[in-house]
A = this chain, B = another copy of it.
Amino acid sequence: MAPQSPRDKIVHAAMELFWLKGYNSTSIADLLSRTQLNSGSLYHVFPSKQDVLIGVLEAYRDGIQEMLLEPAWGAVDDPIEKIFALLNGYRTMIVESDCTYGCPIGSLALELHEPDPQVRALLAQNFENWTAAIETCLADAGRRLPANTDHRALAQFVLTAMEGGVMQARTHRDVAYFDRAVAQLRAHFKLLEEAAKSKA
């Protein structure tokens, strides 16, 4: 591995710690002990804790392709299956974390009650990029969906189902809640495909 700059070390550690413990419950001291840096070095790179958060959100934003989509879509071509392959990626993370997994963006979005405009914009942008990826799948599905389908709304609904499913799975410590959300979404897509067929 290439030697990491302090900046990269901090962002990397913060991504993990914010995900694990949340933003407010992660102290600067946590970040320092994890990165083996001194407080002065951290504050040389990031003027405040909030700037670390901004760095983390930018990293998620810039890494969505390599970190999220490519791993999930490696072996999948069918556009609608790509959507469920992505959801299955989340399922894996839920199981691997013993059902403590929370979407990093969703958790931050709900934890930060009065976010700075820049932070809120980055949260929104992360959601926007996610749904945009789903939207391209829906566009690729073409005539399999009814002609009047609102792709943007449906893509947002996929995010809705994911976030809601993750939240319930975590609260109940049981993947089955996530699975049921995905199954319902699957049923919805099936009904849409049937509706598209019968009108053709």
Q: Please give the residue numbers on chain A whose beta carbons come within 8 Å of chain B beta carbons, in ascending order.
A: 20-22, 24-25, 100, 102, 106-107, 109-111, 113-114, 120, 123-124, 127, 150, 152-154, 156-157, 159-165, 167-168, 170-173, 177, 180-181, 183-185, 187-188, 191-192, 195
Please, which residues of chain B bring their CB within 8 A of the CB of A111?
22, 107, 110-111
Contact A120 B22 (CB under 8 A): no
Indicate whether A181 sits within 8 Å of B167 (C-beta atoms), given known contacts A22-B113, A195-B191: no
Contact B171 A123 (CB under 8 A): yes
Number of this chain's copies in the assembly equals 2
Contact A164 B171 (CB under 8 A): no
Q: Which residue of B lies closest to A156 (CB)?
A: B180
Contact B113 A173 (CB under 8 A): no
Q: Which residue of B lies closest to A109 (CB)?
A: B171
Please, which residues of chain B bring their CB within 8 A of the CB of A106?
110, 167
Please, which residues of chain B bring their CB within 8 A of the CB of A109?
167, 170-171
Q: Within the complex, what minimum Cβ distance (angstroms) separates A87 from chain B?
A: 12
